[in-house]
Structure 1
Amino acid sequence: MENKLVITMVLYQTKFSETPSYDYIKRVISEKKSVYLFIYDNSQNEQADTLFSFQNVRYVHDGTNPGLAKAYNAGRHCLNEVQGDLLLLLDQDTLLDEHYLERLLSLSLDPEVGAYVPIVSSHGRQISPVFSDKYIGGQSELPKAGIYSEKIMSINSGTVLPEATLSSIGSFNLDFPLDFLDHWLFWKIHQLDKKISVLNNHLTHDLSVLDYQTINSKRYESIIRGETLFYKKYDQEQFYNHRRHLLLRTVKQFLRVKNRKIWRRTFLEYRSLMKGK
């Protein structure tokens, strides 16, 4: 018997029909009774699509744009309603691979595994998952396919959470509405002494926040606030490494990034953490 899977996709200022996985999801939803689609639309205007009338599709519009955490909590509620086994988190910029979905439906769920994750690449290089026993940076080690008890972090998109994990976590942390929610999630899974299964499946994702040249100041503010909260309140062992990294980042941004607000904001955060030590 196939696992019952709920795909939770969060949209922002993008038509569902224009997402890279649309055609594949449309076919799966039409053919598979064990697959449900939950769409949480943070766009300014509500949208319509023929798929929204399907029995195994739920669409929610929220023009207040609360981010990811609230959307994922709503997706978890949908999983409970349909008595599902797995919750797949999916970003609008991720291309869902057919083989990955088939693998998820046929998985023999291991009670010791807290999450199943694919290998995700952006612009030709692997960005997820990474080992997170040390401070995560450009030189972080990348795990291969396998089951790990070590600390691992994966981006939200593509991550699959068993119902048992969601019950243990309780809910997604609303203190991280957008950025660093993934760090908190995998930190929490590690606190539960659960393992991470890295599957030998590859997804592509357009991660725009990789480039400080193109990121806007508002999004960077969200990132840096999420970082500090995570290291001050949760992964406290890495707090001093984070503070040191902020200074190094300031220098790099001063030399390389045209938007002067970026390096100034990083240095301001560094100074704030130094005063509070």
Structure 2
Amino acid sequence: MTNKILVVIVLYGINLEDSLTYQTLNLSVTESDSIVDLFVYDNSATCNKINVQNNKFNIIYKSDTTNSGISKAYNKAADYASECQKDWLLFLDQDSNIPKNLFSVFNEFKDKFSNEKLFVPVLKQNNIILSPCKFKFMKGSSFSSVLPGILSLENVSVFNSGIFIDLNAFRKVGGYDENVPLDFSDHSFIFRYKKWFSNIVVIPIVIEHELSSKSSDQTIILRRFIQYCKGVRAFSSIEGGKGLLFFWTALRAVKLSFQFKNFQYIKILFDKN
């Protein structure tokens, strides 16, 4: 079954061989009896050479030095998957710890819930569930626990990393909206998906995930806040809820302003919205 999945890793500012996702994914496919097609979409400012030699992967490398974003990367991966007659896409970021049994558990649950089109792991950071998450009034919040199996998408959303999506379903919902290149790309996709499908399947896999927004580097935090504001504007222009999104973003801007004694966050808030 692994040969019917196109695995997708999106990179930025890191070589493939240094990616935690690639390193741990390598362990998860060691026992596979087929070569895994790995689509690497590199949003870094420079085109990097692939310096890995691994007979378990057929690596397809695409460089995008303009950093078009995650949404375009996933859509390009889907185009390639169609050409290669794949059935499933697995989306991964660059810094997740992939469990060894990811594929075997997915195959088990895919057979058990054969009519479902979207299978998701549980993403955690510091033992807090990041995804799936509650999503109500245009704001995400954590579940205290998530059970494996069918989960209704009513007031629920999912992060990008670790999801298995049926390729035909991906096409049916229109793929990712490239007008939402990074922040809110996952919520935007789920909004599209739930217009056609009601449920997802949670698989009993926990992936340790690192949010860049949790960085302590003020330069990174400021850059991420600018990107976040752009995401808010793009997402709200498509799905509505601009007032609510502006309110939550304003609270974030005020918190960051007092935390770092830097009121540039307030200025960015109004400049980008």
Q: Is TM more than 0.5 here?
A: yes
TM-score by length of 2: 0.85
Q: Distance in 1 between matches of 2:235 and 2:221?
A: 21
Whether the aligned pair in 1 keeps the contact of 2:128 and 2:142 (CA below 8 Å) is no
Which residue is 2:190 aligned to? 186
Which residue is 1:96 aligned to? 98
Whether the aligned pair in 2 keeps the contact of 1:4 and 1:105 (CA below 8 Å) is no
CA distances 1:13-56 after superposition (whole Å, capped 9, x unpaired): 11111111334433527844263211111221321223488773
How do residues 1-277 of structure 1 correspond to structure 2 at under 5 angstroms? 4-26=4-26, 28=29, 31-33=32-34, 35-43=36-44, 44-51=46-53, 56-106=58-108, 107-108=110-111, 110=113, 113-137=116-140, 139-141=141-143, 144-145=146-147, 146-149=149-152, 150-211=154-215, 214=218, 215-234=220-239, 236=240, 238-268=241-271
- 1:203 maps to a residue whose letter is I
Q: SS at the partner of 2:269?
A: helix
- 1:42 maps to a residue whose letter is N
In the TM superposition, residue 86 of structure 1 has moved relative to its aligned partner by 1.3
Bigger mean CA deviation after superposition, 50-59 or 118-127: 50-59
Question: CA 1:253 to 1:201, structure 2 compared with 1: closer, same or farther past 3 Å?
Answer: same
Question: CA 1:52 to 1:113, structure 2 compared with 1: closer, same or farther past 3 Å?
Answer: same
Q: Structure 1: where are the runs of 5+ without partners?
A: 273-277
Q: SS at the partner of 2:20?
A: coil
Q: SS at the partner of 1:93?
A: coil
Q: Distance in 1 between matches of 2:2 and 2:159?
A: 25
Q: SS at the partner of 2:136?
A: coil
- 1:147 maps to a residue whose letter is I
Q: Distance in 2 between matches of 1:213 and 1:24?
A: 26
Q: SS at the partner of 1:108?
A: helix
Whether the aligned pair in 2 keeps the contact of 1:42 and 1:66 (CA below 8 Å) is yes
Q: SS at the partner of 1:193?
A: coil
Question: CA 1:81 to 1:131, structure 2 compared with 1: closer, same or farther past 3 Å?
Answer: same
In the TM superposition, residue 260 of structure 1 has moved relative to its aligned partner by 3.0
Q: Percent identity?
A: 26
Q: Distance in 1 between matches of 2:233 and 2:13?
A: 28
Q: Distance in 2 between matches of 1:61 and 1:3?
A: 24
Q: Structure 2: where are the runs of 5+ without partners?
A: none
Superposed CA RMSD in Å reads 2.7
Whether the aligned pair in 1 keeps the contact of 2:70 and 2:181 (CA below 8 Å) is yes
CA distances 1:216-265 after superposition (whole Å, capped 9, x unpaired): 4333222112113213421x3x4332233234333323322344322332
TM-score by length of 1: 0.84
In the TM superposition, residue 2 of structure 1 has moved relative to its aligned partner by 5.8
In the TM superposition, residue 69 of structure 1 has moved relative to its aligned partner by 1.4
Whether the aligned pair in 2 keeps the contact of 1:130 and 1:142 (CA below 8 Å) is no
In the TM superposition, residue 77 of structure 1 has moved relative to its aligned partner by 1.6
Whether the aligned pair in 2 keeps the contact of 1:21 and 1:95 (CA below 8 Å) is yes
Q: SS at the partner of 1:191?
A: coil
Q: SS at the partner of 1:94?
A: coil
Q: Distance in 2 between matches of 1:32 and 1:180?
A: 37
Q: Distance in 1 between matches of 2:122 and 2:263?
A: 34
Q: Distance in 1 between matches of 2:68 and 2:74?
A: 11
In the TM superposition, residue 97 of structure 1 has moved relative to its aligned partner by 1.1
In the TM superposition, residue 191 of structure 1 has moved relative to its aligned partner by 1.4
